Every structure is written in C-alpha cells, then in structure tokens.
Amino acid sequence: MSDGLPPTTDTDFAIQTSDLGVRYSLRFSRKKSMQRTLSQLLTGQPAEQFWALRHVGLRVVHGESLAVIGPNGAGKSTLLQVLAGIISPSEGVVDVRGHVSALLTLGAGFDVELTGRENILLAGAFLGLDDGVTRRLLPGIVEFADLGQFIDAPLKTYSAGMRARLGFSIATSVDPDVLLLDEVLATGDATFRAKSKARVLELVEEAKAIVLVTHDMGWVKEYCNRAVLIEAGRVVIEGEPDEVVERHRRNTEEAKRRKEEEARAAGLAPVIAR
C-alpha cells in the first residue's frame, strides 16, 4: 500500500486513515534523562523523538476483518489505540465511523475488587451505555463468558484467561460497528477461543468492521478477509492474508539471519544448546 490514501468521495467505509503518524518524545526514556532534558532546555537543543507510526494509510469497509501483523515494537498496538481514540495522531487524518468497541488490554477498566457481574455494569458505563441497556445485555454476556460461579466472585480471583473471556464477552455484546481487538484471542482455553472466532465471524457477516492485532497466523489466514504487515511503524504490504503472512515469514527469517551474521562478526556466535 502507498504511504497515504488518495482523496476519495466514497463514504462507504468504517475506518480510513491517511498519512497517519504518531510521534513520541524519548526525553524520559533513558537513564539520566532529566539531566539531558535540562541541558536541552538550556541550550535549545531539540528533544529526541521516535515515530511509532508514519505515513499509514488504511481503509476498512463494513464486513471486513483486517488482521494487523508484524514484529514486536512495529506499532501495531499504537495503531489500534489511535483507532480507538485513546491516542491522538501527531499528523495525518483518522476517520472511524459508528459505534466502536475495543478490547486492547486484558482487564483494562476493570475493578479487581468488584465481581465479574459488577464489572459488566461498570464496563457498560465506560462504553456510554444506559444502565437499562447494560442490564438487558447482562444475561447474554454472562452466558457467553461461561465463568460459572466465578461471575459473582471478585475479579482479583480470576486468571488471565477468565479476564479475557469476560472482556471479550463484553466487547462483542454491545453490537459494535467497529470492533478492535489486540491479541486477546490467544488467551483462554481452546473451547473459548473457538467460540470467540465464531463470534468474530458472526460480526463480519453482520457487516461489522473488525481490526485485530494477532501473532496467530493460522487465525489470520482462516478468518480474516485482509491483512496488513507493519514494520518500524510503516505499512510494508497489504492484501490477501496468505500473501501478507508469507511476506511476514520471509522478513522474519531474514531479520533472524542478519542478527546471527552480526553476532558472528562481533565474535558472539549463538550458543548451541546441548
């Protein structure tokens, strides 16, 4: 895909970004950063900056499930946070239309002292739902999460998988137009993962737009309409899932080979396990 999308008069989309960029200051990211910051302020030197995303152009229409893949630190989670409205872009344009439901961090917004049932009501308030609406959705959320008696136990007694089940059940129950998921389908038992995938497919069939970050290439190829590979904050390739996954595999192997060659050149050949 090109760096930025060309102007378009077509309005039938759920998500569109053009020349999207997110810049962070590295001012406080290293030791002695306070001393360095004071020096920069006194001398007028600019602070070091890092582009987490740069020139990202994406378009997702209703009924699409877009997988965002790439190495750790590529900017995938940052992209979802921008789409969710948590982070404002430093440059470019982002247009997300309709009701957005996001599950970007397991347990985000939960109160560990409250029960699962109480946290459902709390999450509904965070999502801007009327209390009556949340209470009508409550039985279905409880049934889908399938936590048994733990639904009335404090969240601090939950495992990571149980929190994932509760969070996913809430995020997908509010009839979102846009659903954003960050690596949440990798947590939980096999039965719930299968159930979660079926629910995502159901949302796609209902013409919802799904964007998910995942390291599960099997999920990408089997359940997504499209995929995008992000490396160092930039879109490398976008297209059919099989093609994008294969490009990711080749790039990963090449990066590993380069690191091994650099290690050997520096006299730090990898230790062979015995």
Q: For residues 58 and 198, which has the higher predicted lDDT (pLDDT)?
A: 58
Q: Taking 60 as the threshold, does the pLDDT of residue 269 lie above it? A: no
Q: Which amino acid is at 204?
A: V
Q: What was the pLDDT predicted at 72?
A: 92
Does the pTM of the predicted model rise above 0.85? no
Total structural domains in the chain? 1
Distance in angstroms (rounded) separating the CA atoms of residues 90 and 53:
9
The band of 1, judged by pLDDT with boundaries at 50, 70 and 90, is very low
CB-CB contact of 45 with 39 (8 Å): yes
User: Is 20 a domain residue?
Assistant: no
Nearest to 1 by CA among 263, 274, 234: 234
Q: Taking 70 as the threshold, does the pLDDT of residue 172 lie above it? A: yes
User: Which residues constitute the domain of residue 155?
Assistant: 112-174
Percent of the chain beyond pLDDT 90?
53
Distance in angstroms (rounded) separating the CA atoms of residues 53 and 77:
10
Q: Taking 70 as the threshold, does the pLDDT of residue 6 lie above it? A: no
User: Is 257 a domain residue?
Assistant: no
Q: What was the pLDDT predicted at 274?
A: 46
Mean pLDDT computed over every residue of the chain: 85
The band of 109, judged by pLDDT with boundaries at 50, 70 and 90, is confident
| pLDDT tens-digit map of 45-59 | 565 788 999 999 999
User: Is 21 a domain residue?
Assistant: no
Nearest to 79 by CA among 186, 251, 70, 26: 70
Distance in angstroms (rounded) separating the CA atoms of residues 116 and 149:
10
User: Is 116 a domain residue?
Assistant: yes
Q: What was the pLDDT predicted at 219?
A: 85
User: Is 198 a domain residue?
Assistant: no
| pLDDT tens-digit map of 64-85 | 999 999 999 999 999 999 999 9
Q: Which amino acid is at 106?
A: L
Q: Taking 50 as the threshold, does the pLDDT of residue 218 lie above it? A: yes
- Three-state SS annotation for the chain: CCCCCCCCCCCCCCEEEEEEEEEEECCCCCCCHHHHHHHHHHHCCCCCEEEEEEEEEEEECCCCEEEEECCCCCCHHHHHHHHCCCCCCCEEEEEECCCEEEECCCCCCCCCCCEHHHHHHHHHHHCCCCHHHHHHHHHHHHHHHCCHHHHHCEHHHCCHHHHHHHHHHHHCCCCCCEEEEECCCCCCCHHHHHHHHHHHHHHHHCCCEEEEECCCHHHHHHHCCEEEEEECCEEEEEECHHHHHHHHHHHHHHHHHHHHHHHHHCCCCCCCCC
User: Is 164 a domain residue?
Assistant: yes
User: Is 184 a domain residue?
Assistant: no
Q: What was the pLDDT predicted at 3?
A: 45
Count of other CB atoms within 10 angstroms of residue 54? 19
User: Is 155 a domain residue?
Assistant: yes
* Phi/psi at 206 (5° precision): -85, 15
Q: What was the pLDDT predicted at 95?
A: 96
CB-CB contact of 66 with 226 (8 Å): yes
Q: What was the pLDDT predicted at 160?
A: 83
| pLDDT tens-digit map of 117-165 | 999 999 888 878 889 999 999 999 999 999 999 999 999 999 988 988 8
